[in-house]
Amino acid sequence: MSAFRRYAVTAALAGLMSLAACGTTPASQPGAARPPGPAATTQAPPAATPAPGTATPAPGGTAKVPRQPVLRLDSRGSAVLTLQRRLAALHYFDVAKADGVFGPGTYHAVVAFQKVQGLARDGIAGPATWARLARPYVPAARYRLATTSLEVNLAKQVLYYVSGGTIQRIIDASTGSGAWYYSHGQRARAITPTGRYRIYWRYPGGWQPGPLGSMYRPNYFHGGYAVHGMTSVPAYPAGPARPSPVPDAAKGLPS
């Protein structure tokens, strides 16, 4: 099995605000009546064609990033604004939220960037992170689909929001830990499934309660597995089969 394992979830992602996979059963959740929609399928459309899985040049070439201070949660100022704008140019951050304040959104954008670059996942913009921001590895979408899609890189623990065959956003995520857990009296293992799927149902409200905890706007793609948001997203696989980013990160996705 390849160390670089991903799955693509293809759907019309209007209003998508959650990005994780968790093994629960939609019909068993309170308030989760199934609305009419397309039937679930385990394969993406035949139109999918592999795209080169190699790096592409950074937008605008190599950025000249002057020597910057070490930045972390609660840092403020022009250096934070420079960081946010650079992350936005590389599709890790919503440029509209660049305000010079190093909050949770900036933290998770830095962690996602560090994951893709193979750096320590500490959420701190230090010398190594600044150096890679100047000369980054820029991933390419694995598939070019006619519809909007998601690709989850299980090795790097990030989610790619892809449109028109181009990565529009790279988001911090946490997938299944591989540990055993109990749900509805049954023992199961937290392994995020791989493959190509369609999102067949999405919870119409905000937080959906469940036996393993609440999920933010889950989008189900395979049985009880869903793409959804969580309030806590570790920098490593930690959930019951869930690649989860924080809800606020998902709000920045195009509809």
Q: Tell me: the pLDDT tens digits for 96-149?
A: 999 999 999 999 999 999 999 999 999 999 999 999 999 999 999 998 888 899
Judged against a pLDDT cut of 70, whether residue 52 lies above it is answered with no
SS3 for 34?
coil
Average of per-residue pLDDT values in the chain? 73
Provide the pLDDT for residue 239. 60
Provide the pLDDT for residue 255. 39
Judged against a pLDDT cut of 80, whether residue 226 lies above it is answered with yes
Q: Residue type for 75, please?
A: S
Intrachain domains 6-53+140-251 and 78-134 with the same fold: no
Question: Between 108 and 5, where is the model more confident?
Answer: 108
Distance (Å, rounded) from C-alpha 197 to C-alpha 192? 13
Q: Tell me: the pLDDT tens digits for 96-105?
A: 999 999 999 9
List CB contacts of 187: < 8 A, sequence separation 6 or more.
180, 181
Q: Which sequence spans correspond to the domains of the chain? A: 6-53+140-251, 78-134
Q: Tell me: the pLDDT tens digits for 138-190?
A: 999 998 888 899 999 999 999 999 999 999 999 999 887 666 767 778 877 66
Provide the pLDDT for residue 121. 96
Read off the pLDDT of each residue in 14-25 and give the average, rounded to a whole number: 35
Instruction: Say if pTM beats, i.e. exceeds, 0.75.
Output: no
Distance (Å, rounded) from C-alpha 73 to C-alpha 48? 40
| Pick among 1.10.1740.10, 3.10.620.30, 3.30.70.141, 1.10.101.10: CATH of 78-134 | 1.10.101.10
Domain spanning 6-53+140-251 has what CATH number?
A: 2.40.440.10
Question: Between 139 and 55, where is the model more confident?
Answer: 139
Planar angle of CA 18, 196, 245, nearest 5 degrees: 20
